[in-house]
Amino acid sequence: MTPERLRAFCLEFNASVEEFPFGPETSVFKVLGKMFALTALDARPLTVNLKCDPDEAIRLRGVHPAAVTPGWHMNKRHWNTVTVSGVPDKLLREMIEDSYDLVVAGLPKADRLRLDRP
């Protein structure tokens, strides 16, 4: 997946926005003010930090040890750093969607309903 496709996919979700709170080189994708993905789109290799269920995070690290590692500068229990070229695009898309869904699940019910994600 290219940086452009990664950005476009993250922005496809309801109410998702791209912000730069850590400087112009770091894209932070948020839903209603809560981060679900963080990446430096011009970095090589391209990596993205994604929120993950703790048990699933451990499983993914075991299955893809070279591409999925504990979240760099993040809570290592709840975040993974994923090397984009190291996983199939379909899996990466699923991981991004799971990250978005986990963040949305923590929002108030009224916000979840507004996003069509009860």
pLDDT tens-digit map of 39-72? 999 999 999 999 999 999 999 999 999 999 999 8
80 CB-near residues (< 8 Å, 6+ apart): 49, 50, 52, 57, 60, 61, 68, 69, 70, 71, 95
Task: Kindly report the pTM of this predicted structure.
Answer: 0.93
CA atoms within 13 A on the CB side of 106: 15
**Does 76 or 58 have the greater pLDDT score?**
58
Adjacency order of strands within the sheet including 47-51 = 16-19, 27-31, 34-39, 47-51, 79-83, 68-70
Burial label, 82 (beta-carbon count in 10 A; 0-12, 13-18, 19+): buried
Reading the block at residue 6, the tokens are 């990664």
pLDDT tens-digit map of 104-114? 999 999 999 88
CA–CA distance, 73 with 76 (Å, rounded to integer): 8
